Amino acid sequence: MYYVEKTFRVPVGHRLSKNSARCQFIHGHNLTVKIKIKSEKLNAQDMVIDFGDLKKIVDSAIMDSLDHSLLINEKDEFIPSEVLDKSRCFRLIKDPTAEYLSQFIYEHLRLSFKPSHDNNYMRLVSVKIWENEDSCATYTEE
C-alpha cells in the first residue's frame, strides 16, 4: 500500500458556542491541515497522485472556501446578523472544533476521491487538523 500526505495551511476565525472557557470568544487560528491518501498501485507516472494535482483538488473542494472565513455553528445566536451578512462566514451544523472540522473537511474531500475512470485506485484515508503546534484532531473512516 502506498500513502501520500500533503499539508495545507488556512487562516480562520471561529467561536465555540458550547465552550465555557476562552474558546467561547471569537478568535483565530492558522490551521494546519494534513490530507492523507492511499493507493494499492501507482499511476502511469509512478505516483499515487501528483502533489500539484492534489493541491488543486483540495483547494477547489474546500480550502478556498475556508480561507479567511469565520466558522460558526448555525445555531449560534451570539453573533449578530449584521456581522454574518458582512463577513465571509461558513455556517456549520456543529461547533467548529478541530474534531468536527476534520470530519467536515473529510466529507467534502471524500467526494473528490470517489472511483472514476481517471481515479480507480486512490482513497482518502484521513484528515488531521492542528489548531496550534501541539494540539490536533484526526478524522478517518478506517
pTM assigned to the model? 0.91
The reported pLDDT for the residue numbered 128 is: 98
**Strand partners of residue 136:** 130
Beta strand ranges found along the chain (DSSP E): 2-14, 27-39, 69-73, 89-92, 122-132, 135-140
Residues in the chain with pLDDT values less than 70: 114-120
Q: Determine the CATH number of domain 2-140.
A: 3.30.479.10
Task: Look over the chain and give the mean of its residue pLDDT values, rounded to a whole number.
Answer: 91
pLDDT, tens digit, for every residue of 12-23? 999 999 999 999
